[in-house]
Amino acid sequence: MSRAVLVTGASRGIGAAIARAFASAGDRIGVHFGSSAAMAEEVAGSLPGNGHIVVGADLADAAAVKRMVDAAADGLGGLDVLVNNAGVFRPHPVAETTYEEWQHAWRLTIDVNLVGAANASWCAAQHMIRTGGGSIVNISSRGAFRGEPKQPAYGASKAGLVALGQSLARALGPYGISVTSVAPALVDTDMAAENLAGERGAQRRAESPLGRLATPEEIAAAVLYLASPQAAMASGTVLDINGASYLRM
């Protein structure tokens, strides 16, 4: 049965791959964008199947998030899956920033990566509760567990996203809604190209004993599974996809 799926930050990279994976499974996709409507339209137009839509919102704007989620539910004929993928990544090492730069980085990162995802989850949950269930999958990060010394707000936001997901898994389970998280390491996308060039890229790939990074399609495959009925009992869990580059109990 075709599901209605909203993917935030789906105009490129991991989000676009997630949108393609769900569309290839026969689902209807809401392709969310923050600033690049043209790229989102291109992704939506490339998806197999039909019934796909494009929705935009600044995730730091609570009212805009609600309008966006409601528009996605209206346009897709409901809402069965939310993937909280959108995020910002701004370096702000504590010893190398001004106090003003530090505050700005924290506000922006937490507002988008954590509060924005929390607001989207609340809005999506209202639709899912009315229709008897659904799935929320959060894209966290390896940095939630190992730390992010050059961008601590990013690590904190992704750790908060895991905690949010676990709290919602407990709260929404009685309504038939599963909530899970995926924690990738650096993924081989165009957005990571600068970090993957030359010797620096070789070092990043060597962090994993597999000698490479995950592809966006590998992240998408994990999300597709976690959002499936077969993964209902995985609710509350965090799936690490980092090629054994960081191991935890």
Q: How far is CA 162 from CA 5, 96, 188, 233, in A?
A: 21, 28, 22, 17
Per-residue pLDDT for 198 more than 90? no
- Pair 7, 19: CB distance under 8 Å: yes
Which comes out higher in pLDDT, residue 200 or 90? 90
Give the model's pLDDT for residue 105: 98
Residue-averaged pLDDT of the chain: 96
| pLDDT-derived band at 189, boundaries 50, 70, 90 | confident
What does the pLDDT average to over 90-116? 98
- Any alpha helices (H) in 4-88, and if so which ranges? 13-24, 37-46, 62-76
The residue extents of the domains of the chain are 4-241
Q: How far apart are CA 122 and CA 182, in angstroms?
A: 19
Residue 236 corresponds to which amino acid?
G
Predicted confidence band of residue 235 (pLDDT cuts 50, 70, 90): very high
Contact yes or no for 182/21 (Cβ under 8 A): no
How far apart, in Å, do the first and last CA atoms of the chain sit? 37
The pair of structure tokens assigned to 96 is: 């190398």
To which H or E segment does residue 198 belong? Answer: helix 198-206
The pLDDT of residue 200: 81
Q: Note the CATH architecture for domain 4-241.
A: 3-Layer(aba) Sandwich (3.40)
Q: pTM for the full model?
A: 0.96
Is the distance from CB of 153 to CB of 109 less than 8 angstroms?
yes
Helix (H) or strand (E) holding 137: strand 134-139
Contact yes or no for 138/162 (Cβ under 8 A): yes
Residue 140 φ then ψ, to 5°: -95, -140
Residues annotated catalytic, as ranges: 154
Three-state DSSP at 64 gives helix
Rounded CA-CA distance 25/93 in Å is: 42
Average pLDDT of the residues in 90-98:
97
Q: How far apart are CA 82 and CA 5, in angstroms?
A: 6
pLDDT of 1 higher than 90: no
Residue count of the chain: 249
Q: Does pLDDT of 192 surpass 80?
A: no
Chain centroid, CA 150 distance in Å: 21
pLDDT in tens, 20-36: 999 999 999 999 999 99
Measured CA to CA, the distance from residue 231 to residue 240 in angstroms comes to 15
Q: Distance between alpha carbon 53 and the CA centroid of its chain, in Å?
A: 18
- Give tens-digit pLDDT for 121-166: 999 999 999 999 999 999 999 999 999 999 999 999 999 999 999 9
Q: Is the pLDDT of residue 194 over 80?
A: no
